[in-house]
Amino acid sequence: MEGLWDLSGIGHLGELEKKVSACCSCGLREGCRAVVFGEGNPAARIVLCGEGPGADEDRLGRPFVGKAGQLLDRILGVCGFNRFEHVYILNTVKCRPPGNRIPSEEERKACRPNLDAQLRIISPPIMVLLGATALQEVIDPGGRITRDRGRWVERNGVFIMPTYHPAALLRNPALKADAWKDFKQVVYKYREIVNADHYSPHC
């Protein structure tokens, strides 16, 4: 990418984080406390992508640390994964939209170079999209999570699984059965292409 916000020369996640912490490409930075870059293992083979930081994430500068994040950690646990070893967690936008509204298309577009640079550096073979915003940003602007979840999409050699956002599972626990089916597929794919011996307590 050319221009003022050129991240193409950056090959290290720490260096990218420094640069992204100074990003003011959209108005969100003015209204938030922290730039929530992401966390996890930079060498992880699975990237989880959410929508954008909420209040807890903004306060602590870390992704998925509120109630939805705690549920996500439990889901990862039953898959035999944890956030510091097996995955890297990030969001479509790095700054909290006021009042936790959905980030606008313009805001997502402004933040897209940051997301693209993260994905280029981590280069995961498996990606999990948590909720409609991530689905629409990464795969299909017209995507619908109820329709598109649970089916792999392959893009440039990356296997991408859309599933429900953990916050949706908290609002509607009846969706958990489908989310579990989706995460089981992630475990099976991980065994297939990353580690055949991966242990999960439940599948």
Stretch that binds ligand URA, among 4-12, 47-55, 103-111, 190-198 (CB under 6 A): 47-55
Tell whether residue 50 is a contact of ligand URA (CB under 6 A).
yes
- Coil, strand or helix: which one is 129? strand
Q: Cα 85 from chain centroid?
A: 15
Binding mask 90-129 toward ligand URA (x if CB under 6 A, else -) reads -x--------------------------------------
Provide the token pair at 134: 């991530």
Closest CB 192 distance from ligand URA, rounded Å: 27
C-beta separation of 44 from 124 below 8 A: yes
Pairing of the two strands 126-130 and 158-163: parallel
- Coil, strand or helix: which one is 134? helix
> Could you say which of 51, 107, 148, 182 contacts ligand URA (CB under 6 A)?
51
Q: What are phi and psi of 158, to 5 degrees?
A: -100, 130
- The label of the residue with tokens 């794919």 reads 189
> Could you say which of 32, 68, 93, 119 contacts ligand URA (CB under 6 A)?
68
Give the nearer residue to ligand URA in terms of CB position, either 11 or 98: 98
Binding site for ligand URA (CB under 6 A): 50-54, 57, 63-64, 68-69, 91
